[in-house]
């Protein structure tokens, strides 16, 4: 048994702070190596954000080949690659199978538990962790550093319902999340506490987020909540390359959101940060060539209105028609040639990203340059970090969770190796 008394790590006590996927995976790696593991979380129960993310269907990872999979991590691809070498999408599915959670690949390539739910998976996982001796301390919010019990331990302070508590640990794994969904525990309160120790932290920014557009009152009232599909978006990145994606998004009362927008959110956000605004280009008829649209729109329409003409010739109606009216002048809308061009290339000006607390995830955090290969903070030997508090981002589609699991495993193994080498 991993916790037997003759195990070399039996007397090591390691604190894992944060009970999301990264923290729980770190706890599993540590407990399987024989360490005594204490998981601390500010919330009444662990995995709150994980459960919320699974409400619409628990998208756990993605089935695409590893090369395009790694490409989803953008400029942090090289930093994420070793983590996925240790625990990639195939290993994650095998681990789930061992946990008793069968998975399937959906039509989009996304991987889900067969029951589509997060709660049964979390229950099975927590049961296994408790069986290996992991101790959970809920309503324990980390509020800073304390004097350690000895020179080779780390002192930690927690706010609890019974008052402040101090704990010493032989090693620490932080997995406190980013800055989104604060009500579920990811409130970024750790940022100034790390900065107190002069640990660099890149500013936290919204990722997988919506954006504001200055809609007219008429458009907002009529079309908010309606999906735009199929549609293609093109946006120029800060380095001048043009990113294209096709899919769908949703018009909101403030702007736009949805899977297609999230896939391009890092490019749009960085453009906003650099220029103060970002203009994306919509192709409202991605299934038709530009020439086909010109030919159909410029056909004689007789007594029909332009709106009826667009509906009958190329299927432009509803919210797509509304977008054309919203973004074009009356003169351009009645000019068939200009209208045809706009259908394939409609500029939409976005003014700001939605607040970080509304975002699905966040970018920024502790940079990989401040960590070693085991995700230990170079300035704080014995202190490791994992999950969304690291400086990386990825689109939805299972990429976020996969990297959180992988980083938790690597950090947990790193903490275990640190204890063994002391």
pLDDT value for 93: 98
pLDDT score at 2: 38
CB 372 within 8 A of CB 343: no
User: What average pLDDT does range 39-50 have in this prediction?
Assistant: 96
Report if pTM > 0.85: yes
The residue ranking higher by pLDDT, 212 or 303, is: 212
Structure-derived torsion over alpha carbons of residues 385, 391, 397, 401, reported in degrees to the nearest 10: 0
As to burial, measured by CB atoms within 10 angstroms (0-12 exposed, 13-18 middle, 19+ buried), residue 376 is buried
Domains identified in the chain and CATH numbers: 13-206+361-421 (3.50.50.60), 211-353 (no CATH)
Q: What is the mean pLDDT of residues 182-189?
A: 92
Q: Which strands sit side by side in the sheet containing 61-62, from one edge to the other?
A: 61-62, 110-113, 103-105
Residues 204-244: pLDDT tens digits?
999 999 999 999 999 999 999 999 999 999 999 999 999 99
| pLDDT value at residue 9 | 61
pLDDT at 152 > cutoff 90? no
Q: What is the pLDDT of residue 53?
A: 84
% of the chain with per-residue pLDDT over 90: 92
Tokens of 332: 């351009």
pLDDT for 4 equals: 39
Instruction: Give the whole-angstrom CA distance, residue 377 versus residue 393.
Output: 19
Q: Chain-wide mean pLDDT for the chain?
A: 94
Task: For residue 42, give the nearest of 234, 172, 216, 184 by alpha carbon.
Answer: 184
Would the pLDDT of 5 be above 90? no
pLDDT per residue as tens digits for the range 10-35: 678 999 999 999 999 999 999 999 99
Q: Please state the rounded mean pLDDT for residues 313-337.
A: 95
Average pLDDT of the segment spanning 136-161: 94
Average of per-residue pLDDT across 350-367: 96
| Structure confidence at residue 151 as a pLDDT band (50, 70, 90) | confident
């Amino acid at each position: 048994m991993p916790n037997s008394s003759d195990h070399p790590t039996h007397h090591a006590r390691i604190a894992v702070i944060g009970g999301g996927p990264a923290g729980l995976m770190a706890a599993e790696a540590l407990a399987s190596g024989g360490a005594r593991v204490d998981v601390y979380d500010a919330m009444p129960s662990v995995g709150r954000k994980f459960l919320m993310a699974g409400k619409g269907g628990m998208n756990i990872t993605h089935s695409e080949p590893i090369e395009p999979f790694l490409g989803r991590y953008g400029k942090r691809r090289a930093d994420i690659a070793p983590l996925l070498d240790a625990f990639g999408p195939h290993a994650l599915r095998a681990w789930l199978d061992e946990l008793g959670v069968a998975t399937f690949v959906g039509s989009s390539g996304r991987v889900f538990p067969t029951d589509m739910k997060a709660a049964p998976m979390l229950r099975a996982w927590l049961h296994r962790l408790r069986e290996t001796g992991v101790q959970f301390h809920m309503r324990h919010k980390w509020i800073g550093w304390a004097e350690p019990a000895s020179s080779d331990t780390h002192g930690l302070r927690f706010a609890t319902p019974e008052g402040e508590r101090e704990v010493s640990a032989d090693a620490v794994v932080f997995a406190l999340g980013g800055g989104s969904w604060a009500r579920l525990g990811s409130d970024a309160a750790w940022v100034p506490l790390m900065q107190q120790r002069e640990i660099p932290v890149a500013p936290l920014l919204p990722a997988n987020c919506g954006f504001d557009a200055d809609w007219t009152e008429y458009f907002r009232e009529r079309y908010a909540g309606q999906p735009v599909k199929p549609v293609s978006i093109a946006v120029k990145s800060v380095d001048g390359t043009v990113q294209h994606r096709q899919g769908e998004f949703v018009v909101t009362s403030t702007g736009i959101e949805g899977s297609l927008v999230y896939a391009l959110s890092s490019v749009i956000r960085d453009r906003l940060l650099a220029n103060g605004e970002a203009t994306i280009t919509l192709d409202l008829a991605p299934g038709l060539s530009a020439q086909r649209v010109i030919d159909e729109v410029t056909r004689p329409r007789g007594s029909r209105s332009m709106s009826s003409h667009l509906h009958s010739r190329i299927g432009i109606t509803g919210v797509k028609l509304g977008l054309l009216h919203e973004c074009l002048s009356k003169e351009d809308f009645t000019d068939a040639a200009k209208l045809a061009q706009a259908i394939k290339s409609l500029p939409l000006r976005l003014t700001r990203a939605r607040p970080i607390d509304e975002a699905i995830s966040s970018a920024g955090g502790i940079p990989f340059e401040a960590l070693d290969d085991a995700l230990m903070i170079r300035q704080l030997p014995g202190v490791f970090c994992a999950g969304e508090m690291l400086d990386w981002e990825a689109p939805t589609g299972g990429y976020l969770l996969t990297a959180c699991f992988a980083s938790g495993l690597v950090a947990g193994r790193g903490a275990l190796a640190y204890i063994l080498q002391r």
